[in-house]
Chains A and B, each alone.
Chain A
Amino acid sequence: MTVRTHVIPDVGAKTAVPALEPLLFELARPGRSGRHVVSDDAADIPAAFQRKTPLHLPELTEPQVVRHYTHLAQLNYSVDAGMYPLGSCTMKYNPKVNDRVASLFADLHPRQSYRTTQGVLALAYELEQMLAKITGMDFVSLQPQAGAQSEFTALLVFKAYHAKRGEAATRRRIIVPDSAHGTNPASAAMCGYQVTTVKSDARGNVDLDALKSALGPDVAGFMLTNPNTLGLFEERVREVCDAVHGAGALVYGDGANMNALLGIARPGDLGFDCVHINVHKTFSTPHGAGGPGAGPLCVKAHLRPFLPKPWIVREADGSYHYDTAREDRAPAGLGDSIGTIKQRIGNFGVLVRAYTYMKTLGEDGMLETGRDAILAANYLLALLRDKYDVAYDRTPMHEFVLSAAKQKRQGASALDIGKALLDEGFHSPTVYFPLIVAEAMMIEPTETEPRETLDAFAAAMKRIAERAESDPASVKAAPKYTPLARLDEVTAARKPVLRWQRPV
């Protein structure tokens, strides 16, 4: 593999593009091994159960494994390395102290007694309190392990709420705006609901008239992201919530964009019945190349009885225990609870990081974070608006959506522009989402990118816009300086190769 040279336009320095890496299986040789776990124990297993199928795991030494994964790591873009302006993903800096303190809780099993895990319960209890305060809600479940699981949990809660009122059989429909994340309709369908989509109006808000005509006695709930996926605050949010409540349905808040509201407004004050939090977005926990996350669900008091169990209880003496698994007492039963999504406290290792971040920021840090996130987005939009079309020209919150429709007509699509950004040393924005904007490019800078970086990103975007005008083919040919050129996703799906096969 030859190493190509990449000239970084801004700096003029040359850097080597990292070489590709063979697969683990291709590096292996029978007989190679480390000595990590050795045992001369003999396992007495009845012959009928013993493995007869060969086990061809790769055999490697530790130095090879270290090189392999170091090389793989070098092929990745990361927020540690540069700006990651993916809209709705809130790729802010991930503080290192959060990772270190999480390791203090690594050697704990979720089935340990509450008596041996008081520190865990104290932390989780306080985290619940903090999340309730930040969102303006009354109670919190830490169980959901990601935003989508939290959506599903909330819809189960809705179902249980309506069942309690004798309306489960009639309320079979969930309404989502056309700007919603795909997880919203998918969660609703998974929960057995029919999905109705309502359109957005010319200002990028939910079309209130369309919503009102979609509402009825068969509607269980409405799912709303606010600010929405256009980065716009829902201008008539209270009227929207009132309309939904007027029809006897509940309002679900998708908290993907909660970073915009930190210290600025609380979903609980705006009419939402619940909201989920993506702590891997708003509260800085690292996203691990696709996961883990954690998706606490924050609800108003009327939904509390339906939250997953167990709940953490604090006694007057400052000790903690679980309510349904009181261990040494007869269980209180599930009551109206939907059950259990995840044993005890969800993705605790992620939640420790979020807790640490929240303790670091405190009251004033929350407000500053929300303000700086909005400032950065509006600044970047001001720098870019003369080169790209703005989809809905209103003051955005923490992110905004450009349209590359003009560039597409010139011969370079949003996808091409994203690829050209890779050559400029930046990650691409979210492209082709939200679906209601043609050639959408959704940009979220977050509060942790310095002004110089925002300027450099804008400069790169402008250079690409100029190339789209003068030499669109060069944009279409990007990326040139990444480890691989554009990948053929069509063949990948048509003739799937989903695992390495041993040559026969």
Chain B
Amino acid sequence: MNANPYSPHTEEDRAAMLERIGVRSVDDLLTAIPKDARFPRLGLASGLSEMEVQAHLERLAAMNRTAGSGPFFIGGPIQRRYIPAAVPVLALRGEFLTAYTPYQPEVSQGTLQGVFEYQSLIAELLAMEVVNSSMYDGGSATAEAAFMAVRVTGRKKVVVATEVDFTYRRTLRTYGRGPELEIVEVPTAKLAASAEDAACLIVQHPDAFGSLVDVRQIADAAHAAGALCVQVTEPHANALLEPPGALGVDIAVGEGQPLGITMSYGGPHLGIFACRESLVRQMPGRIAGQTLDANGTRGFVNTLQTREQHIRREKATSNICTNEALAAITAAVYLSLLGPEGLRAAARAGVARAHALAKRLAALPGCAIANEGPFFDRFTLRTEIGGWDLRNALIARGIQVEATASHYVDGRREGRDDVIAQCTELTSEADADALVDAVAQLARSPETVAAR
């Protein structure tokens, strides 16, 4: 039996192949490798059978508490949403899953048309002119948007609102160390006044805490100062809220995971990246485009490739090569199954349930909603207990929420000590009851919670 169960070669095969090559052993093919470095012991265990490996992974999985095992209110860019049965059945077909980048368009029309449709769907949803075929995730898309704005404007200052998701700001800061960008963080309320000398203003709407933001005013201020406006967005919000393209936004980015993609502890997900058509030649990443074949039949290819690393090398708009094409196709399957009404229904459910839940929580003694204005499908709850202790006490009761105290940027804890509750169409009445009951109980004796 072969040590690699996927290896097809019998010993006779190997012998015949060696004979054809004209050597006695594979060792004879390795003479370029320093002798003392050849065949190191790696110190790995022996290989497992499929049955053993399945059991082993099941044991590891059992050590986790899945989101669906109890009331779950953690969200932000990554959201627990209903995924129609047909989504994985279609998107995970071997023809999509096990294809490579569509380098040969004649045998890759499934991928290329699928991505073209994704671009078209997201362009419609965001009311943006051009969408690329994907970035890695919302965080890298945000950083690449800043880099693009730097290229377009020739300025090196990037101003980002502190209400942009903390993980995005972390990635932006880390990326910014490369070209040594000046990254300035200001509250959303001060963003419009901070546009001078900036390459872009980066705003999130709805913001990390769920609040709605007047993006148009920020975009206007950016443009008046010769800067671009970058909006971080969430896909479902655009079903109900005026989209970036209608708000004067130049580049819209976001995490596409809520569009039918599993949370999978953070990835693989989908970086949405959209911009104005006039900026397309500065856009990072692959783009699918329509064309004709030699017989005049419509088909699709990767296009505008002179922006990309395999052609332009150090002059490319980005180094991205592998992207998240499968996630883009998954998102397109999801959107085509839900349609406009299904998407609105899912979005409405999140908003309505968040508003109802917030109302009940705000009525409890010592509890208040910390959002200053209207909010979308998540909100910030402030209690006398303190967010961190409340979150831990809730975990002990089987309820999972996020605490703002776990928001670190540059290794510093930032922000207030609140909890954030995200609702989606999967948030049930029973979930809401459980949270309200638990908070009510804990709020009765805040000092004992903190003591734990």
- Whether B293 contacts A328 by the Cβ 8 Å rule is no
Residue among B50, B94, B96, B400 making CB contact with A116, cutoff 8 Å:
B400
CB < 8 Å neighbour of B355 from A44, A191, A371, A485: A44
Q: Which residues of A contact B116 (CB under 8 A)?
A: 23, 498-500
Interface residue? B430 (CB, 8 A): no
Among the 9-residue stretches A7-15, A297-305, A357-365, A463-471, the one with 4 or more Cβ atoms under 8 Å from chain B is A357-365
Q: Which of A243-251, A281-289, A403-411 is the interface stretch?
A: A281-289
Q: Which residues of A contact B304 (CB under 8 A)?
A: 493, 496
Q: Which residues of B contact A270 (CB under 8 A)?
A: 34, 37
Across the interface, which residues of A come within 8 angstroms of B411, CB to CB?
309, 324, 331-335, 337
Chain B nearest Cβ from A441, distance in angstroms? 13
Measured in the bound complex, the distance between the Cα atoms of B268 and A347 in whole Å is 5
Interface residue tally of chain A, by bracket?
Answer: 35 or more
Q: Which residues of B contact A51 (CB under 8 A)?
A: 238-243
Which residue from B4, B41, B320 sits with its C-beta under 8 Å from A368? B4
Are A24 and B43 within 8 A (Cβ)? no
Q: Find residues 409-426 in chain B having any chain A CB closer than 8 Å to their own CB.
A: 410-413, 425
Residue of A nearest to B413 (CB): A331
**A327: B residues at CB distance < 8 A:** 406
A315 interface residue (CB < 8 Å to B):
no
| B339 and A33 contact, CB distance less than 8 A | yes
A200 CB contacts on chain B under 8 angstroms: none
A36–chain B nearest beta-carbon distance, Å:
4
Taking CB atoms, residues of chain A closer than 8 Å to B111 are 76, 289-290
Of all chain B residues, the one with the shortest Cβ separation from A491 is: B291
- With A99-B92, A145-B267, A335-B411 in contact, is A451–B299 under 8 Å at CB? no
Interface flag for A352 (CB, 8 Å): yes
B121 (CB) vs chain A CBs: closest residue: A57
Q: Indicate if the CB atoms of B339 and A367 lie closer than 8 Å.
A: no
Whether A42 contacts B26 in the complex (CB less than 8 A), given A107-B80, A146-B320, comes out as: no
Contacts A186-B314, A374-B30 given; indicate if A49 touches B241 (C-beta within 8 A): yes
Which A residues touch B214, using CB under 8 A? 48
User: Which of A33, A266, A345, A497 is close to B341, meaning CB atoms less than 8 Å apart?
Assistant: A33
Nearest A residue (CB) for B28: A395
CB within 8 A of B42: which of A366, A379, A433, A482? A366
Q: Is A269 an interface residue (CB 8 A)?
A: yes
For B30, give its contact among A56, A264, A433 (CB under 8 Å). Answer: A264
B171 touches A364 (CB 8 A): no
A 125-166 to B, binary, CB cutoff 8 A, 1 in contact else 0: 000001001101000000001111101100110011000000
Q: Are B262 and A349 in contact (CB under 8 A)?
A: yes
Given A41-B353, A147-B321, are A451 and B316 also a contact pair (CB < 8 Å)?
no
Name the distance in Å between A26's Cβ and chain B's nearest Cβ: 10
Cross-chain contact of A289 among B99, B106, B339 (Cβ < 8 A): B99
Q: Contact: B266 with A331, CB < 8 Å?
A: no
Judged by a CB distance under 8 angstroms, whether A43 is at the interface is: yes
Output the least CB separation between B24 and chain A (Å): 12
The prevalent SS among residues of A at the interface is loop
Contact A78–B99 (Cβ < 8 Å): yes
Alpha-carbon separation in the docked complex, A164 to B267 (Å): 32
In the complex, identify which listed stretch (B15-23, B360-368, B436-444) lies at the interface while the others stay far away: B15-23
Chain A residues 87-118 with CB under 8 Å of chain B are: 89, 91-95, 97, 99-113, 115-118
Given A182-B316, A451-B13, CB of A55 within 8 Å of CB of B267: no
Pairwise interchain contact A58-B339, C-beta atoms closer than 8 A: yes
Q: Which residues of A contact B286 (CB under 8 A)?
A: 290
A308, B174: Cβ atoms under 8 Å?
yes
**Does A171 touch B at the CB level, under 8 Å?**
no
Contacts A36-B338, A109-B265; A69 near B292 (Cβ below 8 A): no
A288 close to B319 (CB less than 8 A)? no
Within 156-185 of B, Cβ neighbours of A (below 8 Å) are at: 167, 170-171, 173-175, 177-180
Q: Which of A190, A293, A382 contacts B318 (CB 8 A)?
A: A190
In the bound complex, residues from chain B placing their C-beta under 8 Å from that of A136 are 40
Given A53-B127, A159-B177, A427-B104: A487 and B316 interface contact (C-beta under 8 Å): no
Give the residues in chain A near B337, CB-CB below 8 Å. 34, 36, 60, 62, 65
Could you tell me if A75 and B113 are in contact, using CB atoms closer than 8 angstroms?
yes
Residues of B within 8 A of A486 (CB): 106, 293-294
Stretch from B54-62, B186-194, B226-234 at the A interface: B54-62
Q: Is A338 an interface residue (CB 8 A)?
A: yes
Shortest distance from the beta carbon of B404 to any chain A beta carbon, whole Å: 11
Contacting A at CB under 8 A, from B315-354, are 315-316, 318-327, 329, 332-333, 335-349, 351-353
CB-CB under 8 A from A344, the residues of chain B are 265-266
CB of B383 within 8 Å of the partner chain: no
Distance, CA A288 to CA B316, complexed state (A): 24
Cβ-defined contact, B44 with A57, below 8 A: no
- Bound form: Cα–Cα A44–B239 in Å: 14
Most chain B CB inside 10 Å of its own CB: which residue of A42, A73, A265, A338: A73
A142 to chain B, nearest CB (A): 10
**A152 and B319 contact, CB distance less than 8 A:** yes
Q: Does A341 contact B (CB under 8 A)?
A: yes
B339 touches A46 (CB 8 A): no
Kindly provide the distance from the CB of A296 to the nearest chain B CB, expressed in whole angstroms: 13
Which of chain B's residues have a CB closer than 8 A to the CB of A73? Answer: 90, 93, 95-96, 110
Contact of B321 (CB < 8 Å), options: A25, A146, A448, A491: A146
Contact of A74 among B42, B110, B129, B353 (CB under 8 A): B110
B313 contacts the other chain (CB 8 A): yes
Residues of B within 8 A of A340 (CB): 167, 170-171, 174
Distance of B49 from chain A, by nearest CB (Å): 8
Contact B3 A328 (CB under 8 A): no
Partner of B20, one of A109, A372, A379: A379
Cβ contact within 8 Å between A146 and B346: no
| Beta-carbon contact of B292 and A288 below 8 Å | no
> A42 contacts B348, CB within 8 Å?
yes
Contact A23 B178 (CB under 8 A): no
15 residue pairs bridging A and B, Cβ less than 8 Å apart: A39-B348, A102-B264, A109-B400, A149-B136, A156-B174, A182-B308, A182-B309, A293-B322, A344-B265, A346-B266, A365-B5, A368-B3, A372-B7, A486-B293, A498-B280
**17 extra interface residue pairs, beta carbon distance < 8 Å, beyond A93-B6, A287-B100, A430-B103:** A25-B120, A36-B84, A44-B355, A50-B240, A53-B246, A77-B99, A108-B64, A111-B74, A116-B400, A147-B322, A265-B34, A290-B286, A292-B327, A362-B48, A484-B109, A489-B303, A493-B303
